[in-house]
Amino acid sequence: MPPTKRRKTDEENIKGRYNLDKVKATKEWIKETFEIQNIRKKGEALELKALQILRAQNIITNMSKAHLLEETKEGTKLKQIIGDGGIDLFGEITIHEQTIQWIGQCKMTKQLTNTVINEMKGLLSTRPNTIGIIIYGGSKSSQTESIVETSNSDIFLSHIHQEIFYVGGYCNNFVFKGY
Protein backbone atom coordinates (compact mmCIF):
# COMPACT_ATOMS: atom_id res chain seq x y z
CA MET A 1 0.00 0.00 0.00
CA PRO A 2 1.48 3.41 -0.97
CA PRO A 3 2.18 5.86 1.85
CA THR A 4 -0.65 8.27 2.51
CA LYS A 5 0.00 11.96 2.26
CA ARG A 6 -0.57 13.83 5.52
CA ARG A 7 -3.20 16.54 5.22
CA LYS A 8 -2.32 20.03 6.41
CA THR A 9 -4.14 21.35 9.44
CA ASP A 10 -6.25 24.51 9.18
CA GLU A 11 -3.52 26.40 11.04
CA GLU A 12 -0.84 25.21 8.57
CA ASN A 13 -3.03 26.25 5.64
CA ILE A 14 -3.59 29.73 7.08
CA LYS A 15 0.09 30.24 7.91
CA GLY A 16 1.04 29.14 4.40
CA ARG A 17 -1.35 31.61 2.79
CA TYR A 18 -0.63 34.50 5.13
CA ASN A 19 3.10 34.77 5.66
CA LEU A 20 3.59 38.07 7.51
CA ASP A 21 6.75 38.99 5.61
CA LYS A 22 4.88 38.55 2.32
CA VAL A 23 1.66 40.37 3.23
CA LYS A 24 2.97 43.44 5.09
CA ALA A 25 1.78 46.75 3.66
CA THR A 26 4.63 48.58 1.98
CA LYS A 27 4.82 52.30 1.27
CA GLU A 28 4.45 51.40 -2.42
CA TRP A 29 1.26 49.42 -1.69
CA ILE A 30 -0.17 52.40 0.21
CA LYS A 31 0.69 54.77 -2.66
CA GLU A 32 -0.88 52.46 -5.25
CA THR A 33 -4.00 51.97 -3.11
CA PHE A 34 -4.48 55.73 -2.68
CA GLU A 35 -4.40 56.05 -6.47
CA ILE A 36 -7.48 53.80 -6.83
CA GLN A 37 -10.32 56.12 -7.87
CA ASN A 38 -13.26 53.91 -6.85
CA ILE A 39 -13.70 54.46 -3.10
CA ARG A 40 -15.31 51.05 -2.60
CA LYS A 41 -12.43 49.25 -4.30
CA LYS A 42 -9.96 51.32 -2.29
CA GLY A 43 -11.71 50.35 0.94
CA GLU A 44 -11.85 46.69 -0.05
CA ALA A 45 -8.11 46.73 -0.79
CA LEU A 46 -7.39 47.98 2.75
CA GLU A 47 -9.80 45.48 4.31
CA LEU A 48 -8.18 42.59 2.45
CA LYS A 49 -4.65 43.70 3.38
CA ALA A 50 -5.66 44.07 7.05
CA LEU A 51 -7.29 40.62 6.97
CA GLN A 52 -4.10 39.08 5.57
CA ILE A 53 -1.85 40.77 8.15
CA LEU A 54 -4.06 39.80 11.09
CA ARG A 55 -4.40 36.19 9.93
CA ALA A 56 -0.64 35.98 9.45
CA GLN A 57 -0.38 36.69 13.19
CA ASN A 58 -2.79 33.85 14.00
CA ILE A 59 -5.53 36.31 14.94
CA ILE A 60 -8.96 34.93 14.07
CA THR A 61 -10.29 37.37 11.49
CA ASN A 62 -13.43 37.52 9.36
CA MET A 63 -14.53 40.14 6.85
CA SER A 64 -18.05 41.52 6.52
CA LYS A 65 -19.44 42.91 3.27
CA ALA A 66 -21.43 46.14 3.07
CA HIS A 67 -22.15 45.93 -0.64
CA LEU A 68 -21.92 43.79 -3.74
CA LEU A 69 -20.08 45.09 -6.80
CA GLU A 70 -20.65 44.05 -10.39
CA GLU A 71 -18.15 44.31 -13.24
CA THR A 72 -19.75 45.58 -16.45
CA LYS A 73 -18.43 46.79 -19.80
CA GLU A 74 -18.66 50.34 -18.45
CA GLY A 75 -16.66 49.47 -15.32
CA THR A 76 -17.44 48.55 -11.73
CA LYS A 77 -20.96 49.31 -10.57
CA LEU A 78 -22.72 48.96 -7.26
CA LYS A 79 -25.07 45.99 -7.50
CA GLN A 80 -26.60 45.98 -4.00
CA ILE A 81 -26.06 47.60 -0.60
CA ILE A 82 -26.22 45.02 2.17
CA GLY A 83 -24.91 46.99 5.14
CA ASP A 84 -22.35 45.82 7.70
CA GLY A 85 -23.31 48.01 10.65
CA GLY A 86 -20.01 49.88 10.43
CA ILE A 87 -17.92 46.76 11.01
CA ASP A 88 -15.44 45.73 8.31
CA LEU A 89 -13.54 43.02 10.20
CA PHE A 90 -14.23 41.02 13.34
CA GLY A 91 -12.79 38.10 15.23
CA GLU A 92 -11.03 36.95 18.37
CA ILE A 93 -7.61 37.60 19.82
CA THR A 94 -5.94 35.98 22.82
CA ILE A 95 -4.36 38.50 25.19
CA HIS A 96 -3.02 37.67 28.63
CA GLU A 97 -4.33 34.10 28.11
CA GLN A 98 -7.86 35.49 27.66
CA THR A 99 -9.81 35.28 24.40
CA ILE A 100 -11.37 38.62 23.55
CA GLN A 101 -13.80 39.55 20.80
CA TRP A 102 -12.78 42.45 18.55
CA ILE A 103 -14.33 44.51 15.79
CA GLY A 104 -12.48 46.54 13.19
CA GLN A 105 -13.14 49.48 10.93
CA CYS A 106 -10.88 50.22 7.94
CA LYS A 107 -10.48 53.71 6.48
CA MET A 108 -8.31 54.46 3.44
CA THR A 109 -8.72 58.24 3.54
CA LYS A 110 -6.17 61.04 3.57
CA GLN A 111 -7.17 62.04 7.14
CA LEU A 112 -8.77 59.86 9.81
CA THR A 113 -11.74 61.80 11.17
CA ASN A 114 -13.16 62.06 14.68
CA THR A 115 -16.45 60.71 13.30
CA VAL A 116 -14.82 57.30 12.77
CA ILE A 117 -13.67 57.22 16.41
CA ASN A 118 -17.11 58.23 17.65
CA GLU A 119 -18.77 55.56 15.49
CA MET A 120 -16.44 52.94 16.97
CA LYS A 121 -17.23 54.16 20.50
CA GLY A 122 -20.93 53.74 19.71
CA LEU A 123 -20.42 50.23 18.33
CA LEU A 124 -18.40 49.19 21.38
CA SER A 125 -21.00 50.57 23.79
CA THR A 126 -23.39 47.85 22.58
CA ARG A 127 -20.78 45.07 22.73
CA PRO A 128 -19.41 44.40 26.22
CA ASN A 129 -15.99 42.74 26.48
CA THR A 130 -15.08 43.75 22.92
CA ILE A 131 -12.16 45.85 21.73
CA GLY A 132 -12.12 48.04 18.64
CA ILE A 133 -9.36 48.33 16.06
CA ILE A 134 -9.36 51.20 13.58
CA ILE A 135 -7.00 50.53 10.69
CA TYR A 136 -6.25 53.49 8.49
CA GLY A 137 -4.06 54.37 5.55
CA GLY A 138 -3.72 58.16 5.76
CA SER A 139 -2.84 60.41 8.66
CA LYS A 140 -4.46 61.21 12.01
CA SER A 141 -4.58 64.34 14.12
CA SER A 142 -3.57 64.78 17.75
CA GLN A 143 -7.26 65.55 18.44
CA THR A 144 -8.19 62.11 17.09
CA GLU A 145 -5.61 60.48 19.37
CA SER A 146 -6.95 62.49 22.32
CA ILE A 147 -10.51 61.26 21.71
CA VAL A 148 -9.25 57.66 21.78
CA GLU A 149 -7.19 58.19 24.94
CA THR A 150 -10.10 59.74 26.84
CA SER A 151 -12.59 57.13 25.65
CA ASN A 152 -14.05 54.60 28.08
CA SER A 153 -13.66 51.95 25.37
CA ASP A 154 -10.61 49.93 24.33
CA ILE A 155 -9.81 51.31 20.89
CA PHE A 156 -6.58 50.77 18.97
CA LEU A 157 -5.61 53.17 16.20
CA SER A 158 -3.29 51.47 13.79
CA HIS A 159 -1.77 52.62 10.52
CA ILE A 160 -1.61 49.77 8.02
CA HIS A 161 2.14 50.32 7.52
CA GLN A 162 3.27 50.81 11.13
CA GLU A 163 4.70 47.96 13.13
CA ILE A 164 2.21 48.79 15.89
CA PHE A 165 -0.40 47.19 13.61
CA TYR A 166 1.23 43.85 14.27
CA VAL A 167 -0.92 43.69 17.37
CA GLY A 168 0.13 40.41 18.93
CA GLY A 169 3.06 41.85 20.89
CA TYR A 170 1.47 45.27 21.27
CA CYS A 171 -1.67 43.96 22.95
CA ASN A 172 0.28 41.81 25.40
CA ASN A 173 1.83 44.99 26.84
CA PHE A 174 -1.44 46.93 26.96
CA VAL A 175 -3.61 47.33 30.05
CA PHE A 176 -7.22 47.23 28.93
CA LYS A 177 -9.72 49.68 30.35
CA GLY A 178 -12.53 47.12 30.45
CA TYR A 179 -10.60 44.20 31.97
Whether 79 has a pLDDT exceeding 90, the answer reads no
The verdict on residue 103 lying in a domain is: yes
The verdict on residue 3 lying in a domain is: no
Give per-residue pLDDT as tens, 154-177. 898 888 887 545 554 445 444 444
Contact 135, 109 (CB under 8 A): no
User: What pLDDT shows up at residue 172?
Assistant: 44
User: What pLDDT shows up at residue 149?
Assistant: 86
Give per-residue pLDDT as tens, 60-69. 888 887 656 6
User: Stretch 55-62: mean pLDDT, rounded?
Assistant: 84
The verdict on residue 1 lying in a domain is: no
For residue 29, the number of C-alpha atoms closer than 13 Å in the C-beta half-sphere is: 15
Q: How many domains does the chain have?
A: 1
The verdict on residue 95 lying in a domain is: yes
CA–CA distance, 84 with 63 (Å, rounded to integer): 10
Instruction: Confirm whether pTM is higher than 0.85.
Output: no
Domain that holds residue 121: 11-159
The verdict on residue 32 lying in a domain is: yes
Q: What is the CATH number of the domain that holds 42?
A: 3.40.1350.10
The verdict on residue 57 lying in a domain is: yes
